[in-house]
Amino acid sequence: MKKKLLFVDDEPMSIKGLQILLDYGALGLEIVGACYNGEEALEFIGREMPDIVITDIWMPLVDGIQMMKSVYEHKWDVHIIVLSGYGEFEYAKQALDYGASGYLLKPVEKEQMEDVLRKTVAMIDEQRRLQREAELAHESEPLLKRKFLEDFIEGRLKLNEAKERAHYFNLTLYDTEVMFMPVQIDHYAHNHAFAGNAGRKLLAYAVCNIAGEILLQDGIGTAILVDNTVRLIMNPRTGILNREAIRSASDKICAQIMTCLKEPVIINETGYGDASDNANIAGAYPKEEADRLLTIMESGHQAKNDELFSALWRQSGGDACVMQKFCERFEADLYLLTRSYGGKPEQRRAPSVLLDIIRSEYDFRMWLEESVAAASQIIAERRGDDNFIATLKAYIDNNYGKRLTLTSLAELVHMNPSYLSSVFKAKTGENITNYILSVRMEQAARLLRDAGYKAYTVAELTGFPNVRYFNEVFKKFYGMPPGKFKGGAK
């Protein structure tokens, strides 16, 4: 099957030249469309999911860098090749930071374009081969083995019964302690190779393999992959499952995954002892209430803990051990949430620390209130106060001549760029890029009409990279070129 190719450039003649530059069919490619700005391209990509996008950097509304950033944040499985002119090396560096598959200098030479496309097609083929291998390995795992492991983890099998059945599946369970440890993978792709749904599945497969090899070498357990979730079954050959061994194995696994895959993971303890007891702890965790509280915290509203506390207390039955396990899991959720906003929360507390903190209902309630308050404060500090819209508008109004990107504006008010874009539109009724454009056009009109500046000077003063681009945007906005607008104003 041919791979889908999309061209993005604000110059129709440039797109036409690229379309006839090569025999794309011979490279295994099919041209599926052309877009003339980043905003139009994002809509097309979200709808059609092309395999490769060739894009210019400077375009109206949403430029090539902003478009790449959005593609990266959506985790779309798209490979982007960037075109740029002389003097745009800093932007080329940003493009590579967002996972650009190639970078070409205008005017594009046929041989260079063909070489980059061949390498990109080969990269896609290799990633899909790895994905197929991961899916095949997952599908080829005998159904009975998966059912056995699920029953064991979820507590439908006692440890003694599980030991008797395990040898049928070439597994060995030892007559020692058992502990289950889910591996939490950050939803945000730090390594572009693992972006998108297919990439996240491939990442889970790779994480499971690395963790399994380390646990096997250390003789303390195994790793399994069930429904794209990696779970560690800690079960040492001899001795007890002490916290030093657990911490050592966790640190080793996390370090190896970061070294090999460039992705951070968190390994969270969910229980000791008999498998059925610990599975009941994991299964009873009130995830719906916890997720609801996390959503409220993220929205910036005052989070009330009563609902989650009641659910946690009811499900734990007042058992201190169960409460501690609940707290470990919710603390991991808080850690991931605050980290996604760029905050630097304190290192997660070890289970032994929670054991000292939480001994009663009062301790349980106080821990929850303090933890939620601390995480909410981190998010609030990173996002800014309720006046962030006014802060943004004031900054844009006073800095329209500078290069303004969604990322730089988001950093100004300590928010996630995607979240900032959606909130700005919800509160003002217009896209932030349109607001920037309207400010620049208003100032451009004033400079042309009142100050008598030339178009190339106005372009520089209002943040446009060159006068050609300024003329095109101005004409689209006002319906006439700057020269006629200036003349008419006089």
Q: What is the pLDDT of residues 364-383, one digit of tens each?
A: 778 788 888 888 777 776 65
Asked if 226 and 274 sit in the same domain, the reply is: yes
Asked if 81 and 101 sit in the same domain, the reply is: yes
Asked if 377 and 398 sit in the same domain, the reply is: no
Which DSSP category does 449 fall into? Answer: I
Q: Which of 102, 129, 156 is the last residue of a domain?
A: 129
In the chain, the number of structural domains is 3
Asked if 482 and 363 sit in the same domain, the reply is: no
Question: Judging by beta carbons within 10 Å of its beta carbon (0-12, 13-18, 19+), is residue 23 exposed, middle or buried?
Answer: exposed
Whether 220 maps to a domain, the answer reads yes
Whether 142 maps to a domain, the answer reads no
Asked if 181 and 297 sit in the same domain, the reply is: yes
Can you give the pLDDT at residue 321? 65
Whether 156 maps to a domain, the answer reads no
The letter for the amino acid at 326 is F
Is residue 352 over pLDDT 50?
no
Q: How far is Cα 24 from Cα 386, in angstroms, rounded to an integer?
A: 51
Is residue 395 over pLDDT 50?
yes
CATH number at residue 305: 3.30.70.270
Whether 399 maps to a domain, the answer reads yes
Contacts of range 351-359, beta carbons closer than 8 Å, 24 or more positions apart? 351/243, 351/269, 351/324, 352/243, 354/324, 354/327, 354/328, 355/324, 358/320, 358/323, 358/324, 358/327, 359/320
Top pLDDT among 184 and 357 is at 184
Whether 135 maps to a domain, the answer reads no
Is residue 98 over pLDDT 80?
no
Can you give the pLDDT at residue 159? 75
On whether the CB atoms of residues 307 and 290 are closer than 8 A, the answer is no
Can you give the pLDDT at residue 65? 83
Local structure of 5: helix, strand or coil: strand
CATH number at residue 447: 1.10.10.60
Contacts of range 202-206, beta carbons closer than 8 Å, 24 or more positions apart? 202/127, 202/130, 202/131, 202/134, 203/261, 203/263, 204/228, 204/229, 204/230, 205/134, 205/137, 205/138, 206/134, 206/260, 206/261
Local structure of 304: helix, strand or coil: coil
Asked if 399 and 373 sit in the same domain, the reply is: no
52-56/79-84 β-pairing: parallel
What average pLDDT does the structure give for the chain?
A: 77
Q: Which of 381, 404, 423 is the last residue of a domain?
A: 381
Asked if 55 and 189 sit in the same domain, the reply is: no
Is residue 240 over pLDDT 70?
no
Can you give the pLDDT at residue 442? 93
**Average pLDDT of the segment spanning 395-414:** 83
Can you give the pLDDT at residue 285? 62
CATH number at residue 124: 3.40.50.2300
Whether 159 maps to a domain, the answer reads no
Q: How far is Cα 340 from Cα 73, in angstroms, rounded to an integer?
A: 12
**Average pLDDT of the segment spanning 418-446:** 84
Place of tokens 């609801």: 292
Asked if 96 and 227 sit in the same domain, the reply is: no
Other C-beta atoms lying within 10 Å of the C-beta of residue 218: 15
**Average pLDDT of the segment spanning 353-366:** 67
**Average pLDDT of the segment spanning 442-450:** 90
Range of 303's domain? 172-381
Can you give the pLDDT at residue 274? 38
Q: How far is Cα 6 from Cα 8, in angstroms, rounded to an integer?
A: 7
Top pLDDT among 225 and 31 is at 31
Residue 175 banded pLDDT, cuts 50, 70, 90: confident
Whether 392 maps to a domain, the answer reads yes
**Average pLDDT of the segment spanning 392-418:** 81
Can you give the pLDDT at residue 214? 92
**Average pLDDT of the segment spanning 79-95:** 71
Asked if 370 and 412 sit in the same domain, the reply is: no
Residue 176 banded pLDDT, cuts 50, 70, 90: confident
Helices and strands (H and E) in the chain: how many: 22, 9
Asked if 314 and 190 sit in the same domain, the reply is: yes
Q: Which of 77, 99, 129 is the last residue of a domain?
A: 129
Is residue 455 over pLDDT 60?
yes
Is residue 385 over pLDDT 70?
no
Among the residue ranges 200-204, 298-302, 341-345, the one predicted with the least confidence is: 341-345
Asked if 377 and 407 sit in the same domain, the reply is: no
pTM, 2 dp: 0.40
Whether 144 maps to a domain, the answer reads no
Place of tokens 């060995």: 172
- Token pair recorded at residue 324: 């501690």
- At 278, which helix (H) or strand (E)? helix 275-284
Asked if 220 and 345 sit in the same domain, the reply is: yes
